[in-house]
A = this chain, B = another copy of it.
């Protein structure tokens, strides 16, 4: 239980209404009951804001007209929400203990207060910083270094000689440092595997989603710069460089040797081709295919929206008609002359 006054001062917001009320938990506008604090960060939900049973809400000045309960006014309620949620977070916390069933090479160097869960496997010469958490059944191969306060969830595979910074989160079943897809084709069509000798370097404060794969570089390293956020089931190919604070949503493929700049937002289900550069502050819409370098910041799209079957068929057919239409216009032009 926190008073609204306490919460508002922690968030740097201004209370409209009764600041003495006590808040028991956080809830969404539609699910909230008395004693809850809620929030509105999207104009889509203004109607819900006007009808919520929450005892208080986190909103911007602009949303105040729609508010019928106590409010904390903030310039960025979404950011404030994160802080309130941390107060109410009941997720299990690291114990600082090494489980007796973890398998740790004698040459591994462990920092202070490290948590290693059951059946995790830590290879030779691995270096693990202070307050690191390593989940059950995760495997860390030889020579890999993991910075302070980094969290590695369950069933993660981290290959050899990988470098992971501090305060990173690597989610379940992701793979860091698997071989890049490098093969040389012989004249008979057969493939010879190209050894993948580079590393993956993940800088500080990076989040890697569940089931995501990050290939090691072929010769140089694959690099994910600090503050970036990668969602689930993303494929980062060898020698890709991801800039600072760039976010990439789920099921996106970034092909080999491509560089993505800082502060980019890449929508889910996107395809970024190989050997291109995407400049800082680029936004790519979901389900888009980026086939060329992008040199000007801005928003880029390539996805058509689903239409009812018949309408879609007509849509495709229309395009096919253009050549005939063109011929008819040419014919008309002749006749008029």
Contacts and interface: CB of A to CB of B under 8 A. Distances in A.
Contact of A308 (B101, B139, B235, B298): B298
A214 B59 CA distance: 29
Contacts of A31: 219-220
A121 interface: yes
Interface in A58-108: 76, 78-79, 81-82, 85-86, 88-92, 99, 101, 103
A275 B286 CA distance: 14
Contact of A173 (B157, B186, B316): B157
Interface string A295-337: 0101111111111110011011011111101101100110110
Given A233-B213, A315-B319, A298 B287 contact: no
B299 A232 contact: no
Nearest to A45: B275
A235 B85 CA distance: 24
Given A155-B157, A232-B235, A306-B302, A175 B178 contact: no
A82 B286 contact: no
A119 B117 contact: no
A289 interface: yes
B315 A306 contact: no
Given A91-B195, A157-B173, A286 B301 contact: no
A181 to B, nearest CB: 4
A316 B304 contact: yes
- Number of chain copies forming the complex: 3
A143 B67 CA distance: 37
| Residue with the greatest number of chain B CB neighbours at <10 A, chosen from A91, A197, A262, A332 | A91
Interface residues of A, number: 140
B332 A326 contact: no
Contacts of A156: 155
A98 to B, nearest CB: 13
Contacts of A201: none
A279 interface: no
A271 interface: yes
A111 interface: no
Given A232-B181, A255-B249, A323-B318, A197 B88 contact: yes
A-B CB proximity, top 7 nearest: A269-B271, A157-B172, A178-B210, A302-B306, A271-B287, A235-B250, A121-B136
Given A183-B247, A213-B232, A285-B309, 15 more contacts: A81-B184, A136-B139, A169-B193, A171-B179, A173-B174, A175-B210, A215-B232, A251-B252, A271-B287, A290-B305, A292-B305, A302-B303, A302-B304, A321-B322, A332-B333
